[in-house]
């Protein structure tokens, strides 16, 4: 967390209420390699505080009416980024607040017409406690689900991206899910991981928010939504075009996609992974294809399985770094 001697640039929480990844004056301008901090709000603008605060129009008011969820900090202008480049975003740290919430929201979803699973329809709010970990912060802390269940926190950035070529089309922080980012709710967007975004405008114009302290696939409910302090660092790969967001972890490279139906999305993610292996790592098309078929460390991943009928699924393919040096 910040201290009196912390001189890094930051966007304060009161200035982190952007709901569209729009072309506008930057909130922050950063040099490549410079660390900066974003104090981000939770997905419901802090209107959910206790378990008595239910996800209803009565509680959420105007933000529910206007679908103004997932407020983000931004835009951040990265010096040297140009259209046609790739923006590299290193997630240095994510520190969540001492509590978060999980919501069962009423309305469309996998349980909408179910009698058997009626308890899962909502509205319902569950508060999860966040305890500090070895670092002394919740960056590596513990989530307390109930008296019998706890788990390691793995904070992630739920909504992150750069301004798309046509920001007037689906660039909001709820339903933007595309090559330039958006509400992808991907477990890979966490501390120690490197994200790659295609750049469409000078400065890239990065936005981020909607942190989850933990998440599975959001099947039927939200993630563990929390306020947070996010530390990032950016670089630029000039004249490098990529088809969709990519991720590099300490052990894998990951090609993401967001699509319906899910099988077509996974097919395209595999094809993009083949291209990545051929263009950047010297594989032949045949070698890459064989690895995707038989290498036991290759994984097909489902990150977001939100069945509200409006959002795409977030999916991807991960490839082990041990197989990149053949």
18-53: per-residue pLDDT in tens? 999 999 999 999 999 999 999 999 999 999 999 999
224-260: per-residue pLDDT in tens? 999 999 999 999 999 999 999 999 999 999 999 999 9
Supply the pLDDT for residue 306.
87
212-228: per-residue pLDDT in tens? 999 999 999 999 999 99
Supply the pLDDT for residue 2.
58
Query: For the chain, what is the mean pLDDT?
Result: 95
Q: Is 7 helix (H, G, I), strand (E, B) or coil?
A: coil
CA distance 215 to 155: 8
Q: Is 272 helix (H, G, I), strand (E, B) or coil?
A: helix
CA distance 96 to 189: 14
Supply the pLDDT for residue 5.
83
85-97: per-residue pLDDT in tens? 999 999 999 999 9
167-184: per-residue pLDDT in tens? 887 799 999 999 999 999
- Residue 104 pLDDT exceeds 80: yes
CA distance 13 to 19: 14
- Residue 268 pLDDT exceeds 70: yes
Supply the pLDDT for residue 1.
60
User: What Å distances lie between residue 102 and 49, 75, 105, CA to CA?
Assistant: 11, 28, 9
280-291: per-residue pLDDT in tens? 999 999 999 999
Q: Is 225 helix (H, G, I), strand (E, B) or coil?
A: strand
Supply the pLDDT for residue 310.
80
CA angle centred on 220, ends 216 and 223, rounded to 5°:
40
Over range 134-163, report the average pLDDT.
98
pLDDT level of residue 298 (50, 70, 90 thresholds): very high
């Amino acid at each position: 967390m910040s201290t009196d001697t912390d001189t890094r640039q930051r966007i304060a929480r009161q200035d982190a209420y952007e709901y569209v990844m729009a072309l506008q004056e930057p909130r922050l301008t950063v040099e490549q390699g410079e660390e900066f901090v974003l104090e981000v709000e939770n997905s419901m603008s802090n209107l959910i505080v206790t378990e008595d605060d239910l996800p209803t129009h009565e509680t959420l008011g105007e933000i529910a009416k206007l679908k103004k969820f997932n407020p983000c900090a931004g835009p951040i202008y990265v010096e040297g980024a140009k259209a046609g480049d790739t923006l590299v975003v290193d997630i240095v740290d994510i520190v969540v607040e001492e509590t978060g919430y999980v919501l069962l929201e009423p309305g469309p979803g996998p349980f909408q017409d179910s009698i058997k699973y009626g308890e899962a329809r909502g509205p319902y709010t569950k508060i999860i406690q966040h305890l500090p970990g070895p670092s002394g912060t919740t960056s590596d802390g513990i989530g307390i689900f109930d008296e019998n269940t706890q788990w390691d926190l793995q904070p992630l950035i739920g909504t992150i991206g750069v301004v798309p070529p046509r920001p007037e089309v689906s660039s909001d922080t709820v339903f933007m899910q595309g090559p330039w980012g958006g509400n992808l709710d991907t477990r890979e967007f966490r501390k120690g991981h490197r994200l790659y975004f295609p750049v469409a405008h000078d400065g890239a114009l990065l936005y981020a928010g909607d942190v989850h302290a933990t998440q599975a696939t959001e099947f039927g409910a939200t993630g563990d939504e929390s306020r947070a302090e996010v530390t990032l660092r950016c670089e630029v790969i000039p004249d490098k075009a990529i088809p969709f967001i990519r991720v590099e972890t300490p052990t894998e490279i990951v090609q993401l996609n967001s699509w319906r139906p899910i099988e077509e999305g996974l097919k395209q993610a595999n094809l993009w992974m083949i291209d990545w292996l051929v263009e950047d790592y010297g594989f032949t098309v045949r070698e890459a294809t064989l690895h995707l078929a038989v290498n036991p460390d290759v994984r097909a991943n489902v990150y977001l399985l939100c069945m509200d009928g409006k959002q795409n699924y977030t999916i991807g393919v991960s490839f082990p770094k041990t197989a990149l040096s053949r």
